[in-house]
């Protein structure tokens, strides 16, 4: 059967010579918490291999109904490169066509020699496949193992972006593990070692692979087919450097490309629909679509549009009452915090390692650095009120409070109001954390305009949203996902909205990256540096009113 990790809701369909051994070792470690160590048979001395633990079945032998509940992924490789790998590792390194590994008599009867060089191997491929089972398996077409419908899979990685599989399991488990590389022995060979005739022969042999997966071979690992998103778990790129293309020259820094991040994790389809102008960057590049990753049927039926320029993702049409759904889910979350009495909650908060508490401590640290002494402090929809505990201010305010958490805010002396009734130009700091992703996209500009108007001339606004890969696509295996997220922000997209609202950028980070910002508020997206972050923050910006903007 395919390799299934039931607790994570994920399923891998293996194929030889496409990182198969490495992925199986990684999945064994994820499942068992330790590396695979093959047990030695005391009688025969044989060591149990990882491929005995996890087999590599033919697609036609599988009962596909067993895998309906799981996220299904596979890895593919250009067939010419895959053939070279098979010869290099199985023939040249392991000697599987040498005396002792194969009957020389059988080779002679078939009219071929042992230990063939690359050219001889390709010229007599059918014969070598017939006389040696392992050669037959390792050179079999991908469609034999993965089937003839690329859309069956939720995620398809190429060898070039197979390192993103580490990120998939990092997000699912919270533990970073290295996949490593296995079965790499043998002399170095490349397509340049083959003449055009032999390359064409390989392509003819793998004609079905090119027919089924050819659009992905040509995409340099960036394209992933469209698939069914119901009842599954999906990954998220916590580590953006992993999702970037590698520098072409030594010493050259990798550029931050938002679509590289998206394309590494999402089944993407380009529809022949009229291009929509992106509200973040203004470009008419929103004709890429993915299905909404959800276990909730009415959400799984939605589409997410993506801007190829800035990476913004958004749900263009929501055929149900979004506010009612959001309010219902929010109440469930707030009730969990409200179950702890305020006195006990704030007495133990310094030891609290929950995401809300850790995020509050990080926000407080950033505000201490950027804002200094705070007079009037406002948080919009503050939930449990953890941030007020850590941020000293002369006056504490909260807007749009969930009543379940009102006792916690009252305990800290926080004044409550609605966002629209607050006075303009009053607040030294306004915090709007994890709100923009849950509102219809057309409400985002007005919300940011309102936040800007509440600031004093020297005031700061802290905005945080889930970055493209953090909460989006991370659907727990046993219940619903992160609905009602309707917007999914790349750093470029968030900056586009903030600048359009007349705000000046001072600080910008993702979970793993820090972007340099010039004194005039311009972000350099191509010179980002790594953040060794252990906090719970995501895509976060600190901004102020921009005197040069027409909106201020």
Residues carrying CATH 3.40.50.150, the chain: 322-544
Reading the block at residue 442, the tokens are 């057309």
Other C-beta atoms lying within 10 Å of the C-beta of residue 343: 11
Which residue in 419, 241, 405, 411 sits closest to 338, CA to CA?
405
Question: Where is average pLDDT lowest: 255-264, 313-322, 436-445?
Answer: 255-264
pTM of the model: 0.58
Between these two residues, 404 and 157, which has the higher pLDDT value?
157
Reading the block at residue 439, the tokens are 């509102």
Q: What average pLDDT is seen over the chain?
A: 81
310 with 283: CB under 8 angstroms? yes
Reported as a pLDDT band with limits 50, 70 and 90, residue 181 is: low
Reading the block at residue 247, the tokens are 């520098």
The pLDDT of 98-105, averaged and rounded, is: 88
Reported as a pLDDT band with limits 50, 70 and 90, residue 476 is: very low
428 with 372: CB under 8 angstroms? no
Reading the block at residue 157, the tokens are 């990685």
pLDDT at 333: 56
Which DSSP string corresponds to 69-138?
TSEEEEEE--HHHHHHHHIIIIIIIT-TTSBTTB-HHHHHHHT--SS--HHHHHHTHHHHHHH-HHHHHH
The pLDDT of 55-81, averaged and rounded, is: 92
Between these two residues, 366 and 155, which has the higher pLDDT value?
366
pLDDT at 512: 78
129 with 174: CB under 8 angstroms? no
pLDDT at 218: 55
User: Is domain 322-544 in CATH 3.50.50.60, yes or no?
Assistant: no
Between these two residues, 431 and 265, which has the higher pLDDT value?
431
pLDDT at 226: 34
Distant-in-sequence contacts of 130-138, Cβ < 8 A, 24+ apart: 131/102, 131/103, 131/106, 131/107, 132/96, 132/97, 132/101, 132/102, 134/90, 134/96, 135/86, 135/90, 135/91, 135/96, 135/97, 137/16, 137/56, 138/16, 138/17, 138/86, 138/89, 138/90
- In this predicted structure, the answer to whether residue 155 has a pLDDT above a threshold of 70 is yes
Beta strands (DSSP E) in 118-271 are 155-158, 269-270
Between these two residues, 330 and 208, which has the higher pLDDT value?
208
pLDDT at 357: 87
Q: Which residues contact 420 (CB under 8 A, 6 or more apart)?
A: 450
Q: Which residues contact 85 (CB under 8 A, 6 or more apart)?
A: 17, 77
Share of the chain above pLDDT 90, in %: 45
Between these two residues, 438 and 218, which has the higher pLDDT value?
438
Beta strands (DSSP E) in 391-467 are 393-399, 415-417, 427-433, 455-465
H or E stretch covering 370: helix 355-370
- In this predicted structure, the answer to whether residue 470 has a pLDDT above a threshold of 90 is no
Q: Which residue has the tokens 């009730």?
A: 335
Reported as a pLDDT band with limits 50, 70 and 90, residue 28 is: very high
pLDDT at 60: 95
Question: Where is average pLDDT lowest: 70-74, 416-420, 491-495?
Answer: 70-74
The pLDDT of 88-99, averaged and rounded, is: 91
The pLDDT of 246-265, averaged and rounded, is: 45
Question: Where is average pLDDT lowest: 218-222, 275-279, 291-295, 459-463?
Answer: 218-222
């Amino acid at each position: 059967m395919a390799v299934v990790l039931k607790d994570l809701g994920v399923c891998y369909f293996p194929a030889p010579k496409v990182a198969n051994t490495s992925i199986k070792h990684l999945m064994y470690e994820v499942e068992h918490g330790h590396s695979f160590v093959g047990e030695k048979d005391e009688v025969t001395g044989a060591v149990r291999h990882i491929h005995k633990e996890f087999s590599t079945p033919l697609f036609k032998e599988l009962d596909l109904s067993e895998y309906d509940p799981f996220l299904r992924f596979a890895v593919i490789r250009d067939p010419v490169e895959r053939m070279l790998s098979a010869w290099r590792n199985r023939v040249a390194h392991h000697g599987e066509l040498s005396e002792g590994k194969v009957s020389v008599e059988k080779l002679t009867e078939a009219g071929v020699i042992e230990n063939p060089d690359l050219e001889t191997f390709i010229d007599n491929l059918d014969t070598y496949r017939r006389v040696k089972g392992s050669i037959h398996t390792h050179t079999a077409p991908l469609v034999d193992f993965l089937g003839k419908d690329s859309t069956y899979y939720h995620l398809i990685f190429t060898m070039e972006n197979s390192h993103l599989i580490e990120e998939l399991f990092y997000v699912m488990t919270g533990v970073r593990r290295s996949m490593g590389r296995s079965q790499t022995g043998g002399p170095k060979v490349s397509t340049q070692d083959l003449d055009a005739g032999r390359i064409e022969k390989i392509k003819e042999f793998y004609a079905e692979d090119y027919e089924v997966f050819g659009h992905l071979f040509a995409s340099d690992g960036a394209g992933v087919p469209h698939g069914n998103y119901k009842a599954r778990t999906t990954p998220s790129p916590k580590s953006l450097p992993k999702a970037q293309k590698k520098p072409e020259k030594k010493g050259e820094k990798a550029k931050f490309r938002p679509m590289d991040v998206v394309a590494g994790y999402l089944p993407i389809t380009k529809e022949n629909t009229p291009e929509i102008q992106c509200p973040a960057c203004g470009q008419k590049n929103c004709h890429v679509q993915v299905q909404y990753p959800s276990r909730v049927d009415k959400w799984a039926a939605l589409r997410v549009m993506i801007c190829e320029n800035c990476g913004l993702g958004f749900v263009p049409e929501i055929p149900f009452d979004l506010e009612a759904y959001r309010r219902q889910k929010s109440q469930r979350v707030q009730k969990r915090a409200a179950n702890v009495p305020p006195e006990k909650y704030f007495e133990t908060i310094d030891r609290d390692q929950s995401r809300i508490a850790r995020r509050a401590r990080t926000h407080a640290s950033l505000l201490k650095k950027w804002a200094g002494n705070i007079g009037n402090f406002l948080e919009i929809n503050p939930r449990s009120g953890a941030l007020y505990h850590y941020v000293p201010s002369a006056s504490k305010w909260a807007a749009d409070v969930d009543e379940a958490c009102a006792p916690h805010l009252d305990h800290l002396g926080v004044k409550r109001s609605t966002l629209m009734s607050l006075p303009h130009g009053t607040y030294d700091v306004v915090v709007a954390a994890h709100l923009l992703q849950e509102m219809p996209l057309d409400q985002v500009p007005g919300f940011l305009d309102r936040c800007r108007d509440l600031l004093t001339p020297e005031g700061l606004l802290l905005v945080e949203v889930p970055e493209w890969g953090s909460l989006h696509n991370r659907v727990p295996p046993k219940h619903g996902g992160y609905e009602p997220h309707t917007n999914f922000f790349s750093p470029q997209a968030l900056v586009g909205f903030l600048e359009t609202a007349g705000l000046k950028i001072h600080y910008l980070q993702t979970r793993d990256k820090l972007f340099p910002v010039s004194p005039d508020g311009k972000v350099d997206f191509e010179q980002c540096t790594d953040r060794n972050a252990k906090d719970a923050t995501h895509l976060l910006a600190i901004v102020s009113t921009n005197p040069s903007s027409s909106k201020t």
